A and B are shown apart, each in its own frame.
Chain A
Amino acid sequence: MADLRELYQQVILDHNRSPRNYKRLPDASHTAEGTNPLCGDEITVYVLLEDDVIKDVGFQGSGCAISQASASLMTSAVKGRGTDEAEQLFRAFHDMVTAGPDAPADSKALGKLAALAGVRQFPARVKCANLPWHTLHAALTGVHEPVSTE
């Protein structure tokens, strides 16, 4: 049986309760929207990019604890990083949450993001964890249509 404590770790509950970087960037250079219409999860990601470095990043939206915490952890992780690094993290994160339930999480590369590894045991919730990342990816690659992970 999947472990609820794995999914709802303190880190996740904390980031859900007080999300970091929950803000709109008025001077954002890149913006994208993500929406999972069946869930009702909605997110807008704002990025201020300078010389391919994420100088600032914020998000707004509503959704479950997993999507909110994922967005909060994501923005904390990519702030100050180059877009290449951010895309690498995106891939590592994606691999982590879509790996089988028993695959080890590469916590060295992912740092605090590894807190979301528990999602792997809850296939119905992977899309919640992924939505902020796909939205960030869309912002960085200039996708104008809202993205979805459903």
Chain B
Amino acid sequence: MTTLHQVSRAKASAPPVLDLRRIRADFPILGHLSNGKPLVYLDNAATSQKPQSVIDTLTRYYQAENANIHRGVYELSQHATLAYERARAKIQRFINAAEPHEVVFVRSATEAINLVAHSYGRSHLHAGDEVIVSVMEHHSNLVPWQLVCEATGARLRVIPMTDAGELVLEEYERLFNEKTKLVALVHVSNSLGTINPVKQMVETAHTNGVPVMVDGAQGAPHLPIDVRDLDCDFYALSGHKMFGPTGIGALYGKAALLDAMPPYQGGGEMIRSVRFEKTTYAQAPAKFEAGTPHIAGAIGLGAAVDYLHNLPWDLIQAHEYDLLTYATESLAAIPGVRLVGTAREKASVASFVLDGVHAHDIGTILDQEGIAVRTGHHCTQPVMERLGIPATARASFAFYNTREEVDALVAGVLKVREVFG
């Protein structure tokens, strides 16, 4: 509890602020030019930039530590194995999983979801069963379920949302019946920024005896993730969206579920013994990591998690909230601009449309100013259809973005208006 004494002491000294200059210096690309102008990188929901520590870790690995893992008796291989498994433990701690073997390294959040869809989904879904998804899922948490439904005869039920981009929880609760077998839900919407009340929604699902897969690709870059507090059954992470390398992601799954699931892909690493008569499989997570994994990527993701761990998260969140509020107010003040996605709980994503100008034209003109935004449907076509718009321009902020960059964005949008008269 905050006491009066503490409040007055806090007032006496200057409030702590994020040292943005220092943070930006950690990300070498932020000092570069784009189209001759200082790069204003506002496409963090597509991929985030990498701190020097991640880049150095990758370089060091390939320069001095590269060997295949889990098989060599020599020192270099043992060292690589140790580094790979240490990265797994870092991710376990980062998301507060109970055990390291609840973390499976995969190629991407997309692969994490496909793994669950094919392994858990195909072994648990039957004709007539139902999978609940929300209307704001990224295609990566929608299409894998459609594929499994097609194969098994199960069907999708869809949680609707309001015009502001908030899921309608009463409708969600009404979707459950004895045929409901799984909920697949996005933590933070990539196109709208909405932070869904995952903990509450998991509780609802569990009351109905239904497990929940959470797509956390956009969650981890903005929020502290605690899978045990959320009590979700599966959680998908994307490495490159959380300041790590591309080509690496992680799937969290509760140990009991992972242990009971059949393998996803077959090959080396994932077996206990192979005979023509019968092959037996390794325990999770090895069971799901067939073939030589992206060793450097996993270790690089570990370095990203270390970097995130050392950030002052209370200040980061206050800063991102300030960026979002400032961007929302500044963009909304431009005649003809309409913000898309105005949920009460939002991550720092500002999607918008401009009267009479298609998002791609906005993107091209902003690009000439060195400003990188994403334009299009953002792999959420059902969201665009629900809102009756073909596309949006989306500025998505990371903690290294600044108010000055919001100003550059606003000046850029004013230029778009000027070009289009």
Question: Is the A/B pair a real complex?
Answer: yes
Q: Are A65 and B390 in contact (CB under 8 A)?
A: no
Minimum distance in angstroms from A126 CB to a CB of chain B: 12
Please measure, in the bound complex, the distance between the C-alpha atom of A68 and the C-alpha atom of B359, giving whole angstroms. 13
In the complex, the answer to whether B361 meets A1 with C-beta atoms within 8 Å is no
Cβ of B377 and Cβ of A125 under 8 Å apart?
Answer: no
Count B interface residues, CB 8 Å. 19
Interface size range on A against B: 20 to 34
CB distance from B197 to the nearest CB of A (A): 30
- From A2-10, A26-34, A87-95, the one touching the partner chain is A2-10
- Return the CB mask of A1-23 against B: 1 if under 8 Å, else 0: 11010011000010001000000
With A2-B368, A64-B358, A66-B361: A40-B35 Cβ-Cβ less than 8 Å: no
Q: Decide if A65 touches B376 in the complex (CB within 8 Å).
A: no
Contact B358 A125 (CB under 8 A): no
The distance from the CB of B290 to the nearest CB of chain A, in whole angstroms, is 31
Q: Shortest distance in angstroms between B61's beta carbon and chain A's nearest beta carbon?
A: 33
In the complex, whether B20 has a CB less than 8 A from a CB of chain A is: no
Q: Tell me whether B358 and A1 are in contact (CB under 8 A).
A: no
Tell me whether B384 and A122 are in contact (CB under 8 A): no
Interface of chain A residues 95 through 114 with chain B (CB within 8 A): none
Q: Find out whether the CB atom of A39 lies under 8 angstroms from the CB atom of B368.
A: no
- CB contacts (< 8 Å) of A40 on chain B: these are 376-377, 384, 390-391
In the complex, what residue of chain B is closest to A65 when comparing beta carbons? B361
Residue A82 at the B interface, CB < 8 A? no
Please give, as numbers and ranges, the residues of chain A lying within 8 Å of B420 by CB-CB distance.
8, 13, 65
Q: What's the Cα separation between A1 and B367 when bound, in Å?
A: 11
A-contact bits for B389-400, CB 8 A (1 contact / 0 none) = 011000000000
CB-contacts of B323-377 with A (<8 A): 356-361, 364-365, 368, 376-377
A39 to B421, CA, bound (A): 23
User: Bound complex: CA of A40 vs CA of B384, how far in Å?
Assistant: 10
Is there an interface contact between A65 and B368, defined as CB atoms closer than 8 Å?
A: no
Judging by beta carbons under 8 Å apart, are A4 and B360 in contact?
no
Q: Work out how many contacts link A and B, with CB atoms closer than 8 A.
A: 50
Cβ–Cβ contact B357 & A65, under 8 A:
yes
A63 at the interface (CB under 8 A from B): yes
Is A141 an interface residue when CB atoms closer than 8 A count as contact?
no
Please give, as numbers and ranges, the residues of chain B lying within 8 Å of A124 by CB-CB distance. Answer: 364
B4 interfacial by beta-carbon distance below 8 Å: no
Q: Given contacts A8-B420, A65-B361, are A1 and B36 in contact (CB under 8 A)?
A: yes
CB neighbors of A among B30-69 (8 A): 35-36
Which residues of chain A are within 8 angstroms of B391 by Cβ–Cβ distance? 39-40
Contact B390 A62 (CB under 8 A): yes
Assess A1 versus B360: contact at CB under 8 Å? Given A13-B421, A40-B391.
no
Which of B361, B368, B420: most chain A CB closer than 10 A?
B361
Contacts of A4 in B (CB 8 A): 364-365, 368, 419
Name which residue of chain B comes closest to A61, CB basis.
B390
Q: Which of B360, B377, B384, B419 contacts A64 (CB 8 A)?
A: B360
Q: List 14 A-B contacts (CB under 8 A).
A: A1-B35, A1-B36, A2-B35, A7-B364, A13-B421, A17-B356, A40-B376, A40-B384, A62-B390, A64-B358, A65-B420, A66-B360, A122-B364, A128-B360
Chain A interface residues (CB < 8 Å from chain B): 1-2, 4, 7-8, 13, 17, 38-42, 62-66, 68, 122, 124-125, 128
Closest 9 CB pairs of A and B: A64-B358, A64-B360, A40-B390, A40-B391, A65-B361, A62-B390, A64-B361, A8-B419, A40-B377
